[in-house]
Amino acid sequence: MKSVNLASFDNSWYRPGSAAKRLIWYILNAIVFRSSVPFPKGIKTLFLRAFGAKIGRDVLVKPRINIKYPWFLEIGDSTWIGEGVWIDNLGLVKIGKHVCLSQGAYLCTGNHDYKKTTFDLILGPITIEDGVWVGARAVIGPGVTLKSHSVVTAGSVVVKNTEPYKIYQGHPAVVVKERVIE
């Protein structure tokens, strides 16, 4: 039987930006974004745009968030990024308009191929369409699309695409009912 050999792991093909750009971003991320200090949202969106993020109007970015690479991030108008959100975007994360990412939500675009002895890196974009609500401490996995106005309840784990206007709960998340907006 074969076994995993992490010493043979090689992701040299993955180039998320120059070393200098990543270093400057890591420092800025630690000082401004991961900080508990409530820096004004205008400063945060300015820095995100300066590092290549596409940010809409009236985006609210709370304290203590972590963004891996802003140049792989798109956020639509009037979206809220709650305290403690981690956008682990090794690949593209596209967030629509009027989306709410609640406290501690985790968006993860990377994984590993557990079938390979080399444990290869696998990337999958995350798309969150307009009007979606991701509850506190929910996890969204690589390659997932959260369809328009779907809801992911607190602590749920989504590994497959959702349907529009459905509420998902559990680990793995399943439909529990329809979302009706009055």
Rounded Cα–Cα distance for residues 94 and 85 (Å): 15
**pLDDT tens, residue by residue, 121-151:** 999 999 999 999 999 999 999 999 999 999 9
Q: What is the pLDDT at residue 90? A: 98
Q: Is the pLDDT of residue 119 over 90?
A: yes
> What's the rounded mean pLDDT across residues 23-31?
98
Within 10 Å of residue 57's Cβ, how many Cβ atoms? 10
Task: Work out the pLDDT band at 41, boundaries 50, 70, 90.
Answer: confident
Residue 58 one-letter amino acid: D
Residue 160's closest CA among 124, 136, 130?
124
Q: Which CATH class is domain 17-178?
A: mainly beta
**pLDDT tens, residue by residue, 144-163:** 999 999 999 999 999 999 99
> What's the rounded mean pLDDT across residues 17-23?
97
Q: Domain segments of the chain: what residues?
A: 17-178
Q: What is the pLDDT at residue 175? A: 98
Residue 90's closest CA among 48, 62, 122?
122
- Non-local (6+) Cβ contacts of 96 within 8 A are 76, 79, 128, 129, 130, 131, 132, 148
pTM: 0.96
Mean pLDDT of the chain: 97
> What's the rounded mean pLDDT across residues 53-66?
97
- Non-local (6+) Cβ contacts of 14 within 8 A are 90, 121, 123
Beta-bridge partner residues of 108? 88
Say what the alpha-carbon torsion angle 27, 29, 30, 32 is, to the nearest 10 degrees. 110
- Assigned token pair, 57: 């109007």
DSSP codes, 33-91: ISSSS---HHHHHHHHHHTT-EE-TT-EE-SS-EES-GGGEEE-TT-EE-TT-EEE-SS
